[in-house]
A and B are shown apart, each in its own frame.
Chain A
Amino acid sequence: MNDDNIIVCRCEDITMKEIRDAIKEGFTTLEEIKRVLRAGMGPCQGKTCGPIIAREIVKMTGKSMEEVMTQKLRPPFGGITFKEVINDE
């Protein structure tokens, strides 16, 4: 099955093909892919796409999972609104 068109990062609407092209271009950690494609920068912070992209990098480059999984989760993880922070309304 050709899975090139599946959406890997739902927050930023990024397909498997875009991910594979970036890996071929030489971006081989989650942090690097995030920086060029925004994958993992959306509200879910890569919780959905992170593991999928990591597995793809491992498959295509032969790197180990530890080398690839460098992405930092950045607070606040839940997607809190401004008014919730300042306790307004």
Chain B
Amino acid sequence: MMNKAYVVIIGGGVTGCSIAYNLAKKGIKDIIVLERKYLSYGATGRCGAGIRQQWGTHQNCILSTESIKIFENMNEILQTKRDIELKQKGYLLLAYSEKELKQFKKNIEIQHEHNIPSTLVTPEEAKEIVPMLNTENIIGGAFCPTDGHANPFLVNQAYADAAKRLGVKFIKAEALGIKKKESKIIGVETNKGFIETTRVVNAAGSWSKEIGSMVGIDLPVYSEVHEILATEPVKPILNPMVMSFSHNFYCQQTPHGSFIMGMSPIEKVKDVSWQFLERMTKKISTLLPPTKNLRIVRQWSGYYNISPDKQPIVCESEEIEGFYMAIGFSGHGFMLSPAVGILMSNIILKEKLQWDVTLDIGRFKRKEIIEEPSVV
């Protein structure tokens, strides 16, 4: 095993691989990605595959639109072996109350400042977009036609393959500890030996808090189990992702034909539950009646790694020199990964951030936080 590196990235999910690729693209040599299981083992391989720009904070709008621009050209940029299955048929967000509709209006104003082509829709217009929609109790919604889907496994793999071609080493090993001298990083202990380095990136998703404790810092994130299911593939019948914040669900049909849908937990769960199946199928078959006949083929769960303002933490640690983190994606880290990889390369190389965003961990102490209002 290589025993010296410019940087060690812990985590072979989409975040770690995007960071590795973006650093390598800027000419950095001796980059190591540590993954203890396999690529996409974590949240990336368990996620809902949705990409949207309809956010309620400037930062999330910037990160998501900039990422969509990259998704749109990803096959060429990364010279992907397999098409990433991008589908841009929109996200339809449903409003069940005046309060929700008001929030959508506010969000859309922010979105328009970033040229996101979202609009408010009436229940009738929503039904034109999704003819099978049962509009009962729905008082309106918001729609953005360029939101959609990409295949998380293939995006993760595409970043990893492109990084490998630029010389990044992927090592199947577990980080067990991080060594520091005074307040500087000097290496990473793994189950396959010690790697000398002055830089470590914590891209360990739901395990990021444990990585923080390896350098003695208590990161303000926690992990929460979220459940999801997939059906057999059927012919295309649903164009956009349909989503509700107040009723806490999302549902989309992938280009492959299967439906993917999830709901936030109402009580803490450890893994998959029958309660979820019941709640989920009831909700969606009322809202989109033709789904009644769909066959479920898989049900699984994964972790959201949640930050206090539901926005990612992407920065260098204030206490430990050379300890970087890209964590706390709060259930939307797949869609932000292209932009986050670029930002982390800016941070590590001490460049000016490519976009005007404040993602450092100090924002919580400075009380500069604006919480993202629109999450499932």
Contact = CB atoms under 8 A, between A and B. Distances in A.
Interface string A20-52: 000000000101100110100111010000000
Interface-centre pick from B45, B230, B285, B298 (highest chain A CB count, 10 A): B298
A83 B293 contact: yes
B300 to A, nearest CB: 5
Contact of B232 (A32, A35, A36, A43): A43
Contacts of A29: 38
A2 interface: no
A88 B296 contact: no
Given A41-B298, A86-B281, A31 B292 contact: no
A86 B297 contact: no
With most chain B CB atoms within 10 A of its CB, the pick from A36, A38, A42, A79 is A36
B173 interface: no
B291 interface: yes
Q: Is the interface of B mostly helix, strand, loop or mixed?
A: mixed
A62 interface: no
A22 to B, nearest CB: 10
A45 B295 contact: no
A70 to B, nearest CB: 9
| Chain A interface residue number, banded | 20 to 34
A6 B140 CA distance: 51
Nearest to B41: A31
B272 interface: yes
Contacts of B157: 35-36
A32 B172 CA distance: 13
Given A35-B40, A42-B232, A75-B272, A82 B284 contact: yes
Contact of A85 (B153, B272, B277, B300): B277
B314 to A, nearest CB: 26
A35 B297 contact: no
5 contacts: A35-B40, A74-B272, A79-B232, A81-B295, A85-B282
Interface of A: 29, 31-32, 35-36, 38, 41-43, 45, 74-76, 79-83, 85-86, 88
Interface of B: 38-41, 45, 82, 153-154, 157, 230, 232, 256, 272, 277-278, 281-282, 284-285, 291-300
